Amino acid sequence: MERSLVLIKPDGMQRGLTGTIINRLEEQGLKLIALKMLHLDKALARKHYAAHRDKPFFENLVNYISSAPIVAAVFEGERAVKIIRKITGATDPAKAETGTIRGDLGLNTRHNTVHGSDSVETAEKEIKRFFTESEIFDYDRVIEN
């Protein structure tokens, strides 16, 4: 079973889209196993986006993601990483397909509403960065739908 880190970025939180985004992932059958609200500091923002540190948009990205509270979640499911990337859509909302979160709700390439881990390895690192063991819930769904 795979796990993936999802972030509802400041533009998503501030437009009241938290419930909608979580709902889209839940509707897909993904299991919510961790959830919290936090305000990223710049150091954690830099770590989260370290792969982009040489890109021209890096500083603006760090400032944006740490500008206001966000929601962090962990979802679990078969092939969760790929499925979440698919539901999230392309980085640029103008290129993301209709029906994806970014295609329907994203504003522009920076303010694209949501983050989803890009591989199983990245997901493991990202989840550890945002959640302690005790904040992640291992439970069975007793009511199947």
- Encoded one letter per residue, x for contact with ligand IDP by CB under 6 A and - for no contact, window 46-85 reads ------x----x---x------------------------
CA 128 to chain centre: 14
- Which residue type does 97 have? E
Q: Which of 76, 104, 118, 135 binds Mg ion (CB under 5 A)?
A: 118
Cβ neighbours of 138 (radius 10 Å): 7
Cα separation, 142 vs 145, in Å, equals 10
Residue 85 structure tokens: 């990337």
Q: Catalytic residues, which ones?
A: 115
Looking at the Cβ atoms of 4 and 112, the one nearer to ligand IDP is: 112
DSSP designation for 34: E
Looking at the Cβ atoms of 57 and 137, the one nearer to ligand IDP is: 57
Task: Provide the minimum distance between the beta carbon of 145 and ligand IDP in the complex, in angstroms, as a whole number.
Answer: 30
Which 78-107 positions form the footprint of ligand IDP (CB under 6 A)? 91
Residue 29 backbone phi and psi in degrees, to 5: 100, 0
Looking at the Cβ atoms of 23 and 91, the one nearer to ligand IDP is: 91
- Find out whether 107 and 93 touch, Cβ atoms under 8 Å: yes
Interacting residues with Mg ion (CB under 5 A): 118
Interacting residues with ligand IDP (CB under 6 A): 52, 57, 61, 91, 109-110, 112, 115, 118
